[in-house]
Structure 1
């Protein structure tokens, strides 16, 4: 007669299944929290896709902010290897973030309208973590703190991010300490203001790119260029997905919808990195 395993007898090579409380995986990942954060407000099955995809984007925003803060701190300490490693990781994360548009990129107007009313006044431009990303890129705007006045912790984090140097500010500070002629007016500028292109900074990048490709500043420039390109692709993918789903209609939350996104898509991140190429 063949042996029948006892009710609690493990199969061969079975990992440990018996824990006193929740599993170590759950304790670390908090999966049950993540998978119970979805509360659709309509009966349309497509809303679940929209909701989960948006939440996934928020998680990617969070880790990208972490990477760019790591890079900024490393540059402040002239630790280029750590900064380059963080920027490189962020490019993989940006690629994954951009891929998040796939489930939403082919929505028809009818499909989007079937649950659009569930958003109410909600809009992506109200995302605090995305705003922190933009602040790190030098896109500072004090008015973007206004929607978060009712959430003191979030407002405080955003206010701190507004007043701190951006990632690009730290890059220019690093280059100045390496002997490049970054003007004092740029180094001492008000960090709460949006970064504006500067002809002298363009000449710095022109000098860097006119030399060997394997210098530390050139490698930093290329790492930043990769980040900038992926941010540009994110903005354009957002624009195309929105245009496909709702055309030129006004966006939720009082935004101008496609018109707002079109304006954003034309802005270059780290602008002199792009314009300097015309002079090399």
Structure 2
């Protein structure tokens, strides 16, 4: 036993694809590359918080997309347990997203304005990862693809998401397979509430035959509530740091954010609460 040796794993995914750089942990997480990505353009200390928060949110968007995609696959396979697990994991990512706004909560207009002009027309509204999530929620708008004319791969991925069933579409398809009458076909347009869908959810919550589907409804409400919290925090952060001025990418700023925050995700699950 005294002559036994422990072999070190051969990790070949260091920064830039160069093997053997740094500790195994640094190589696995690509830390050298990660910590090189924060490049403030001003001497304003608050700009680093802005960049880090933006990058953290982008990573969490990707994680949430992964979990919702897993949930969609499970729903297609009628695996309610796996779908609920994926949605639950996703809510933890959503919680971190909501709390991420705290990193910017104390930024003053003077601090923000000191570097705002340095990123030109860049805007969070241009985030492809965020838009992909909106499409997955059913908030579809083909015109938004025009932003990515010079990014053909990104545009193609978003176009696929636009044409594919949303997370809610997959849920409604599962309800239909379980014997509830709901809208049968997904759409590439923004989801519109349906009395037929509302009637299906009423039965889920009132008919013992469909009680096993109630946890799915509640899991979707957990998702929807966190989407609204994120939008509200976004609205508050923008209102505090820049007021009602137009967004850097030419958006209507507060007007758009306020309208977005008022839109319920999975609307029938909210409207039927009045009757339960």
Same fold (TM over 0.5): yes
Equivalent residues of 2:46, 2:107 under 8 A apart: no
Structure 1 residue 34 and structure 2 residue 43: aligned? no
**C-alpha displacement of 1:216:** 2.6
User: Higher relative contact order at CA 8 Å, sep ≥6: structure 1 or structure 2?
Assistant: 1
**Runs of 4+ residues deviating >2 angstroms:** 211-216
The answer for the alignment partner of 2:99 in structure 1 is 99
Structure 1 residue 116 and structure 2 residue 116: aligned? yes
Query: What CA deviation, in whole Å up to 9, does each residue of 1:35-61 have, x standing for no partner?
Result: 111121112111111001100000000
| SS of alignment partner, residue 106 of structure 1 | coil
Structure 1 residue 254 and structure 2 residue 250: aligned? yes
TM-score, normalised to structure 2, is 0.90
Query: What CA deviation, in whole Å up to 9, does each residue of 1:141-193 have, x standing for no partner?
Result: 111111111111111111111110000000000000000111xxx2224x211
Query: What CA deviation, in whole Å up to 9, does each residue of 1:202-240 have, x standing for no partner?
Result: 111111112459933100000000000000000000000
**C-alpha displacement of 1:26:** 2.4
Larger Rg: 1
**C-alpha displacement of 1:119:** 2.2
Structure 1 residue 21 and structure 2 residue 20: aligned? yes
Instruction: Find the aligned partners of 1:213 and 1:158 in 2 and give their Cα distance.
Output: 38
**C-alpha displacement of 1:109:** 1.1
Q: Which runs of 5+ in 2 are unaligned?
A: 1-7, 12-18
**1:72-221, aligned counterparts within 5 Å?**
72-182=72-182, 186-189=183-186, 191-211=187-207, 215-221=211-217
Instruction: Find the aligned partners of 1:49 and 1:179 in 2 and give their Cα distance.
Output: 50
Equivalent residues of 1:163, 1:192 under 8 A apart: yes
| SS of alignment partner, residue 214 of structure 2 | helix
Structure 1 residue 223 and structure 2 residue 222: aligned? no
The answer for the alignment partner of 1:6 in structure 2 is none
Deviates more, 1:29-38 or 1:167-176: 29-38
Q: Which runs of 5+ in 1 are unaligned?
A: 1-15
Equivalent residues of 1:148, 1:155 under 8 A apart: yes
TM-score, normalised to structure 1, is 0.89
Instruction: Find the aligned partners of 1:257 and 1:210 in 2 and give their Cα distance.
Output: 42
Structure 1 residue 276 and structure 2 residue 272: aligned? yes
Counting matched residue pairs gives 259
